């Protein structure tokens, strides 16, 4: 019974109803992975909180701080196997809610972004089901991962599978156990080179890894696991290993990840049916923008076996999913380097961020514009070579709210003739100085670009 859709109204920034489609696993790597991107305070964590609100045996209470003041009614709809399960405020302005048509499945395990837990704790050994049944939505976002320590006792009963995953991420298996102090409190104990230390000295990165792996190691096919900001306190090499592990689990489980890290944007998952949504908060409140199937196909085409331009959706390019707005598209990597040089020589600041190392050709720019449009980017510009006027016209017709211009030269820089190619005249000469005859026209384009971005 997969969770296929979530509809949110009145919770935090969701002033109007927003809908997010969730990926459903098909057996292929990453097929069940849903990736949430967007700026800080954009609303990603709010989506995971709505998943958390479904947990527990009792209907949650939404405190005044979590209810949108323009609505004062919260309604969260969970679409499970085509059927709607509705969580709704009992009345306007009330903290109390009622669950309608809820079933126990699917089982959802939510890991918040704040993964710290108390270093000294009491004793209980909670199974996965007990942890979920006792989970609740706190009135405020807490700095402590509540009740996680009870799961540690459960892991310690049979640690083999957990430690196998731990070894895959760390490259080794740390020796750990649970000990008890003279005061009667329990604590995690780690052994290292003949010495030991308690969980009070446990690094935040290791805490994060423990909590993420805890959500996975005893999960079952069909389960839903949601993880907020898995990258926190982790070295990039560890981020990549965890991202790969999540992709693997998403073959037969629904994995939902809210992230600021390009390492967790899996192109394989998107090719195999995974989803990506960008969550932003603006004048209309919190809104969700999702990649269409057309855009996912375009990403697969741009990223797959692109031997001449392997950078088109490399790590730099994947930062695209995390930009607030103001994206500048260019044809190639020279453009990314030389347009800022032109701006420097003209003493005109450029407003915006260049996409990766270029689009890999003018023909790829429409695909990138479609991706940006799907994800709700409003300020997008494209700069093309002077011989691409027909392409620029077509782009303007397809995306009338975006900005497209051709430079006043055939290419970004002058290139010497080759045996079968005549010399091409560019904006820059061989010494990378902007040519006098193109200065005014180039200055006009850059000023218009900045005006478009600032409007």
pLDDT in tens, 118-130: 888 899 999 999 9
Q: Identify the pLDDT of residue 10.
A: 97
Copy the structure tokens of residue 405: 């211009």
Mean pLDDT to the nearest integer, 236-245? 96
φ/ψ of residue 139, rounded to 5: -70, -25
Q: Identify the pLDDT of residue 200.
A: 59
Q: Identify the pLDDT of residue 197.
A: 59
Q: What gap in Å lies between CA 319 and CA 435, rounded to an integer?
A: 32
Model confidence at 382: pLDDT above 90: yes
Q: Specify whether 440 is located in the same domain as 332.
A: yes
Report the predicted TM-score, pTM, of the whole model to 2 decimal places.
0.90
Q: Identify the pLDDT of residue 204.
A: 81
User: Is omega for the bond preceding 176 within 30 degrees of 0, making it cis?
Assistant: no
Residue 338: CATH number of its domain: 3.40.50
Q: Specify whether 94 is located in the same domain as 228.
A: yes
Q: Specify whether 241 is located in the same domain as 103.
A: yes
Q: What gap in Å lies between CA 263 and CA 78, rounded to an integer?
A: 29
φ/ψ of residue 328, rounded to 5: -110, 120
Model confidence at 166: pLDDT above 70: yes
Q: Identify the pLDDT of residue 119.
A: 83
Q: Specify whether 245 is located in the same domain as 321.
A: no
Q: Specify whether 260 is located in the same domain as 321.
A: no
Q: Identify the pLDDT of residue 57.
A: 81
Q: Specify whether 236 is located in the same domain as 384.
A: no
Mean pLDDT to the nearest integer, 213-242? 95
275 falls within a domain: yes
Number of domains, the chain = 2
SS3 annotation, the chain:
CCEEEEEEECECCCCCCEEEECCCCCCCCCCCEEEEECCCCCCHHHHHHHHHCCCCCCCCCCCCCCECCCCCCCEEEEEECCEEEEEEECCCCCCCEEEECCCCCCCEEEECCCCCCCCCECCCCCCHHHHHHCCCCCCCCCCCCCCHHHHHHHHHHCCHHHHHHHHHHHCCCCEEEEEECCCCCEEEEEEECCEEEEHHHCCHHHHHHHHHHHHHHCCCCCCEEEEECCCCCCCHHHHHHHHHHHHHHCCCCEEEEECCCHHHCCHHHHHCCCEEEEEEEECCEEEEEECCHHHHHHHHHHHCCCCCCCCCCCHHHHHHHHCCCCEEEECCHHHHHHHHHHHHHHCCCCCCEECECECCCHHHHHHHHHHHHHCCCCCEEEEECCCCHHHHHHHHHHCCCCEEEECCCCEEECECCCCCCCCECEEECCCCCECHHHHHHHHHHHHHHHHHHHC
Q: What gap in Å lies between CA 86 and CA 63, rounded to an integer?
A: 18
Pick from 335, 327, 333, 337: nearest CA to 309: 333
Q: Specify whether 337 is located in the same domain as 448.
A: yes
For residue 424, the tally of other CB atoms under 10 A from its CB is 17
186 falls within a domain: no
Q: Identify the pLDDT of residue 301.
A: 82
Q: Identify the pLDDT of residue 270.
A: 93
Pick from 373, 377, 281, 270: nearest CA to 47: 281
Q: Specify whether 325 is located in the same domain as 275.
A: no
Q: What gap in Å lies between CA 324 and CA 137, rounded to an integer?
A: 29
Model confidence at 397: pLDDT above 90: yes
Q: Identify the pLDDT of residue 412.
A: 95
For 361-394, letters b (16+ CB in 10 Å) and e give ebebbbbbbbbbbbbbbebbbbbbbbebeebbee
CA 90 to chain centre: 33
Q: Specify whether 366 is located in the same domain as 449.
A: yes
Length of the chain: 455
pLDDT tens digits along 182-204: 999 998 888 876 666 565 556 78
Model confidence at 332: pLDDT above 80: yes
Model confidence at 94: pLDDT above 70: yes
In this structure, are residues 309 and 299 in contact, taking their beta carbons and an 8 Å threshold? no
Q: What gap in Å lies between CA 278 and CA 290, rounded to an integer?
A: 6
Q: What gap in Å lies between CA 117 and CA 208, rounded to an integer?
A: 10
Q: Specify whether 396 is located in the same domain as 264.
A: no
Domain that holds residue 230: 3-117+125-134+214-290
Q: Specify whether 105 is located in the same domain as 34.
A: yes
What rounded mean pLDDT belongs to the chain?
A: 91
Pick from 2, 128, 126, 121: nearest CA to 55: 128
Mean pLDDT to the nearest integer, 326-343? 95
Kindly give, in sequence order, each residue whose CB lies less than 8 Å from that of residue 253, ignoring residues fewer than 6 positions away.
Answer: 25, 32, 219, 220, 221, 222, 223, 224, 225
Residue 23: CATH number of its domain: 3.40.50.300
Q: Specify whether 263 is located in the same domain as 386.
A: no
């Amino acid at each position: 019974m997969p969770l296929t859709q979530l509809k949110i109204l009145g919770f935090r920034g969701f002033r109007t109803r927003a809908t997010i489609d969730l990926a459903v696993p098909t057996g292929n790597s990453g097929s069940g992975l849903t990736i949430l991107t967007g700026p800080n305070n954009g609303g990603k964590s709010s989506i995971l909180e709505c998943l958390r609100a479904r947990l527990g045996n009792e209907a949650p209470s939404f405190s005044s701080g979590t209810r949108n003041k323009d609505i004062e009614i919260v309604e969260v709809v969970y679409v499970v196997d085509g059927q709607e399960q509705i969580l709704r405020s009992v009345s306007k302005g009330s903290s109390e809610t009622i669950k309608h048509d809820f079933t126990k499945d699917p089982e959802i395990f939510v890991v918040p972004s704040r993964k710290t837990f108390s270093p000294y704790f009491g004793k209980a050994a909670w199974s996965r089901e007990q942890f979920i049944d006792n989970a609740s939505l706190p009135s405020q976002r807490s700095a402590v991962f509540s009740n996680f320590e009870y799961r540690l006792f459960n892991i310690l009963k049979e640690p083999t599978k957990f430690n196998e995953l731990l070894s895959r991420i760390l490259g080794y298996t740390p020796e750990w156990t649970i000990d008890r102090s003279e005061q009667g409190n329990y604590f995690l104990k780690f052994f290292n080179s003949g010495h030991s230390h308690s969980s009070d000295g446990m690094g935040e990165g290791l805490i994060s890894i423990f909590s993420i792996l805890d959500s996975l190691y005893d999960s079952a096919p069909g389960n839903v696991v949601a993880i907020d900001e898995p990258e926190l306190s982790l070295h990039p090499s560890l981020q990549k290993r965890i991202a790969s592990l999540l992709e693997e689990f998403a073959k037969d489980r629904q994995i939902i990840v809210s992230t600021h890290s390009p390492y967790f944007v899996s192109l394989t998952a998107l090719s195999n049916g995974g989803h990506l949504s960008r969550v932003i908060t603006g004048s209309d409140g919190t809104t969700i923008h999702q990649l269409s199937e057309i855009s996912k196909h375009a990403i697969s085409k741009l990223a797959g076996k692109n031997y001449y331009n392997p950078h088109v959706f490399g790590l730099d390019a994947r930062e695209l999913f995390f930009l607030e707005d103001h994206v500048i598209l260019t044809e190639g990597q020279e453009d990314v380097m030389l347009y800022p040089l032109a701006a420097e020589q003209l003493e005109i600041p450029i407003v915006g961020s260049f996409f990766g190392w270029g689009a890999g050709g003018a023909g790829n720019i429409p695909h990138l514009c479609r991706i940006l449009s799907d994800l709700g980017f409003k300020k997008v510009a494209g700069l093309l070579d002077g011989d691409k006027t027909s392409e620029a016209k077509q782009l303007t017709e397809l995306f009338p709210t975006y900005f497209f211009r051709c430079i006043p030269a055939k290419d970004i820089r002058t290139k010497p003739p080759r045996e079968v190619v005549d010399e091409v005249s560019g904006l820059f000469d061989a010494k990378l100085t902007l040519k006098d005859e193109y200065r005014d026209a180039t200055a006009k384009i850059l000023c218009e670009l900045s005006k478009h971005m600032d409007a």
